Amino acid sequence: MAFKIKAFEVSKKTYMYSKPFKISLGAHFESVNVEVKLILDDGIFGLGEASPSFLISSETPDMVEIGLKELCQALIGKDVRNYRKLFDETDVIFKAIPSAKAAVQYAIIDALTASLGITPFEFFGGSRDSIYTDKTVGIDEIENMVEEARSIYAEGFRTIKIKVGSVEKGVKSVEKIAEVTGNTGYIVDANQAFKAKEAVELSRKLYEKGINVVLLEQPVHRKDYDGLKFVRQNSPYPVAADEAVFEKYDAFKLIQNGCVDYINIKLMKSGISDALAIVEMAKSAGVGLMIGCMGESSLGITQSVDFAAGTGAFSYHDLDASLMLKEENPLKGFERDKDELKILGRDKRWK
């Protein structure tokens, strides 16, 4: 009968970045993603994409591809209407490869909603028809960073994310960018580069210059909870955790210890199951949310657009990965107008 999982198809795809994308942890030249097609008994299918990031979550594309091919077998014959049970099972099966968990959990919801004639966006709550994304400036020579920010701003983006790796250059690059982009609003992301006191120094210097930093993202090592709390208590800007939060337990510990103002949820770190739990936890605790991405193509970004627009839970959206890749994946569930990402209906998807 329909709703039962008949088969999985798994395929690896390589996308080149338009230009090398550098963060404090290292540089990315290409993004190797793994697509999953989950096929039901009646031929209706759901899609998903894993975008593993070795720098962030120690997953390689081969691990994810082989893991998906082997481990999805355990789901054959199961009913996608029991998706909560399947989430619990996939939390265990894909524990070591969270990007694979995200792809499979989304594919389960995509197949279920395709059978019901709706989209995952509606399944997640249908809160907003569109969301607004930032765009990211990677670490580079300061004049190149300024040029890139200028063109991002001219394209219509109103929040710009800036990668930093040291206090002096970080302050200078953000300051120069603010001069040419109307002090529009900046998410400053250190990807764990600083000691707590350095992060406070960076944010105080930017604050003295009147720079409109809306979030300071993962300033310290992901395991340095005390450091994160210190930055939160001493920085004039709100502090967000990114690499420090994978599973819901991580979010719980950070919230319980008063370490964060915001949490950056990425489906590639948490899958849909833990992302849903973190959304409710953050709402309960009055902690803010942003949603981010790894190196997803349009297919993977669709997962996050559906989740973010559906739940309506996020103050900031950092869903620009597919914009940074050279080629576009034709599989896409949203359309873009400047910085606005609008949901596409079921009839316009996977064409």
Measured from the CB atom, the residue of 189 and 201 that comes closer to Mg ion is 189
Determine the interface stretch with Mg ion among 79-87, 111-119, 182-190, 330-338 (rule: CB under 5 A).
Answer: 182-190
What mask of x and - would describe binding to Mg ion in positions 191 to 230, judged by CB under 5 A?
A: --------------------------x-------------
CB of 269 to Mg ion, least distance (A): 10
Determine the interface stretch with Mg ion among 9-17, 32-40, 240-248, 274-282 (rule: CB under 5 A).
Answer: 240-248
Q: Is 253 an annotated catalytic residue?
A: no
Name the CA dihedral angle for 135, 191, 97, 42, rounded to a multiple of 10 degrees: -10
Measured from the CB atom, the residue of 119 and 322 that comes closer to Mg ion is 322
Q: Spot the catalytic one: 101, 266, 269, 332.
A: 266
Count of all residues that appear for the chain in the document = 351
Tell whether residue 134 is a contact of Mg ion (CB under 5 A): no
Kindly report the number of other CB atoms within 10 A of residue 30's CB atom.
Answer: 15
Q: Which residue is nearest to Mg ion (CB)?
A: 242
Measured from the CB atom, the residue of 134 and 148 that comes closer to Mg ion is 134
On the CB side of 124, CA atoms within 13 Å amount to 31
CB of 243 to Mg ion, least distance (A): 7
Largest CA distance in the chain: 65
Choice from 49, 110, 148, 189 touching Mg ion (CB under 5 A): 189
The position carrying tokens 């300051």 is 175
Measured from the CB atom, the residue of 120 and 219 that comes closer to Mg ion is 219
Q: Report whether 97 contacts 308 (CB < 8 A).
A: no
Determine the interface stretch with Mg ion among 30-38, 124-132, 137-145, 238-246 (rule: CB under 5 A).
Answer: 238-246
According to DSSP, residue 162 is labeled: E
CB of 137 to Mg ion, least distance (A): 13
Determine the interface stretch with Mg ion among 183-191, 222-230, 282-290, 339-347 (rule: CB under 5 A).
Answer: 183-191
Determine the interface stretch with Mg ion among 86-94, 100-108, 236-244, 282-290 (rule: CB under 5 A).
Answer: 236-244
Q: Is 209 an annotated catalytic residue?
A: no
At residue 158, the 3 state secondary structure works out as coil
What mask of x and - would describe binding to Mg ion in positions 88 to 127, judged by CB under 5 A?
A: ----------------------------------------
Measured from the CB atom, the residue of 4 and 22 that comes closer to Mg ion is 22
List the alpha helices (DSSP H) in 6-141. Answer: 54-57, 61-71, 83-93, 98-116, 120-123
At residue 232, the 3 state secondary structure works out as helix
Q: Spot the catalytic one: 101, 135, 161, 163.
A: 163
Q: What is the Cα–Cα distance from 216 to 261, expressed in whole angstroms?
A: 10
CB of 317 to Mg ion, least distance (A): 13
Residue 248 host element (H or E): helix 248-256
Q: What angle do CA 101, 107, 111 make, to 5 degrees?
A: 150
At residue 341, the 3 state secondary structure works out as strand
CB of 323 to Mg ion, least distance (A): 16
Measured from the CB atom, the residue of 189 and 274 that comes closer to Mg ion is 189
The position carrying tokens 């994304």 is 133
Q: Determine the angle formed by the axes of helices 61-71 and 98-116, rounding to 10 degrees.
A: 50
Choice from 148, 198, 242, 320 touching Mg ion (CB under 5 A): 242
Number of H helices, E strands in the chain: 12, 14
Size of the site for Mg ion (CB under 5 A): 3
Report, in angstroms and rounded to the nearest whole number, the Rg of the chain calculated over CA atoms: 20
Q: Please report, as ranges, the residues that interact with Mg ion according to CB under 5 A.
A: 189, 217, 242
The catalytic residues are 163, 266
